[in-house]
Amino acid sequence: MPNQKQKIIIANWKMNPASFIEAENLLKTIKSGIKKSDNLKIVICPPAVYLPKMKPNSNFDLGIQNIFWEDKGAYTGEISAPIAKKLGANYAIIGHSERRIYLNETDEMVNKKIKAALKNNLKPILCIGETLEEKNQDKTSEIISSQLKSALKNISKFQVPSSKFYVAYEPIWAIGTGETPTSNEVMSAALLIRKIIAGLYDRQTADNLSILYGGSVTGKNALDFLDNAGMNGLLVGGASLNGSEFARIVNLI
Ligand code: PGA
């Protein structure tokens, strides 16, 4: 069953910290704070320019916060999946709501980015979730469904085995706000995600999928999402910038 498998905790540092020295210190605090657990994978997603200096070890792996969908060419300012791989990333956050909001990233772009990641052996962490307005209009299921289906358009089940593809349910209203959904709401979202995956592919693919929760995760509420909502992992933003708080979350597993 999905709950039994290895948990994954992802740190999304976003556009922080301001210098590599600070990033190094943050990493040191995290490394010294975490106890080893075989049942756990930690993935740090720093600003891309810090990736080559981050030196992953058996305790943690590296991810990039975004990629472009073409492998190379005249795309000023973008980073391709092959470049991300060479920088040291093994995971790629794709479709984060901040990119959808501030950079007008569409479902179609998200789909192209997922394909580029899979083609280049980067494990996508697909972010989906509704706005507060959509939640208040009871549109959560509709949004989850349409974002997930669009993101996986023309992608076969063989391309998204459980070890290579992750879905993060991140309600936009919970990101960086201190507000969180109840464990029941998160569990319903995860059930819906599995149902959609079962419809697109099959039951086994749905059961094996790792689903993460993200949005104002802290050391205080992390267990609620992991144990009570049965999530397979967490995507941690703000709290991952505090090394001891992030270690506290990790050590709950
Ligand atoms: P937050 O961010 O933990 O600061 O809410 C989560 C995310 O954006 O992935």
**CB 52 less than 6 A from any atom of ligand 1:** no
Residue nearest to ligand 1 atom 6, measured at CA: 237
**The pLDDT of residue 155:** 97
Q: What is the mean pLDDT of the chain?
A: 95
* 3, pLDDT greater than 70: no
- Ordered by where they begin, the domains of the chain are 2-250 (3.20.20.70)
- The strand pairing partners of 44, in sequence order, are 11, 62
Q: Is 130 a catalytic site residue?
A: no
Closest atom, ligand 1, to C-alpha of 217: 3
- Category of 77 on φ-ψ map: left (φ > 0), alpha (ψ -120 to 50) or beta: left
Ligand 1: distance of its center to the CA of 208 in Å? 24
Contact 26, 243 (CB under 8 A): yes
For the chain, the farthest-separated pair of C-alpha atoms sits apart, in whole angstroms, at 47
* 199, pLDDT greater than 60: yes
**How many Cβ atoms from other residues are within 10 Å of residue 105's Cβ?**
18
What's the CA gap between 153 and 111, in Å, rounded? 7
Q: Quick: pLDDT tens for 106-157.
A: 999 999 999 999 999 999 999 999 999 999 999 999 999 999 999 999 999 9
How does DSSP assign 138-205, residue by residue?
T-HHHHHHHHHHHHTTT--GGG--TTT-EEEE--GGGTTTS----HHHHHHHHHHHHHHHHHHS-HHH
pLDDT bucket at 93, cuts 50 / 70 / 90: very high
pTM, two decimals, is 0.96
**The pLDDT of residue 136:** 97
**The pLDDT of residue 38:** 81
